[in-house]
Amino acid sequence: MPKMMPCLWFDGQAEEAARFYTSVFKNSKIKKTMYWGSTGPGTKGSVLTVQYELDGNDFLALNGGPEFKFNEAISISVECKDQEEVDYYWERLSANGGEKGQCGWLKDKFGVSWQVEPKVLPQMLMDKDQQKADRVMTAMMAMHKIDIAELERAYHGH
C-alpha cells in the first residue's frame, strides 16, 4: 500500500508549527527537516519541509509561501477518550491566538482547523433510536467545546 500523509502549507512557520504540534500530542516527534538549496525560491538554508509524527500519524509541513491560506474545508479530527482529553486538546490547540468555534471545531494559531470530539459522539449520533440521535445533535449544535456529560443527558432524555 502507498504511504500517505497530509501536507500542510505554511508561510514560513512550518518548523514552528511542527514543534508546537509535537509539544501538544504525546508520543510525537519531528522526524526530518529538509532545507532550501541554492535553486529554490526560498532562502538557501531555510526550512523547506518538516516531517513530523503525532501519536503515530505522519504529517508534512511545507514552507510554501503566502499564496494559500488554511480554511475549514480541511480539518484534522482528534478522537478523545474522555472529557479530560477533550479539555486538554481544546485548550492546547486553541492557545496563543487560536479561535474556538462551535461543535468542537477550532482553529489553531496558524489557522489550521481541528475537530476535538469524544469517541462517544459518533456512536450517539448513529444510534438506531433517531430521537436519541436527534437530541444529541441538538445539544452538540449549541456547544463550543464538546461537553460529554451534557451529550449523555441529551442522549438519555434528561
Locate the domains of the chain by residue range: 1-68, 70-158
DSSP for 22-60?
HHHSSS-EEEEEEE--TTSSSPTTSEEEEEEEETTEEEE
Q: Which pLDDT value is given to residue 89?
A: 98
Closest CA to 92 of 10, 141, 22: 22
pTM: 0.93
The class level of CATH for 70-158 reads: alpha beta
Task: State the fold for domain 1-68.
Answer: 3.30.720
Backbone angles phi, psi at 113, to 5 degrees: -85, 140
143 to 84, 111, 131, 140, 148: CA distances (angstroms): 17, 21, 19, 5, 11
Same fold, 1-68 and 70-158: no
Q: Output the tens digit of pLDDT for each of the chain's 158 residues.
A: 778 999 999 999 999 999 999 999 999 999 999 999 998 788 899 999 999 999 999 999 999 999 999 999 999 999 999 999 999 999 999 999 999 999 999 999 999 999 999 999 999 999 999 999 999 999 999 999 999 999 999 999 98
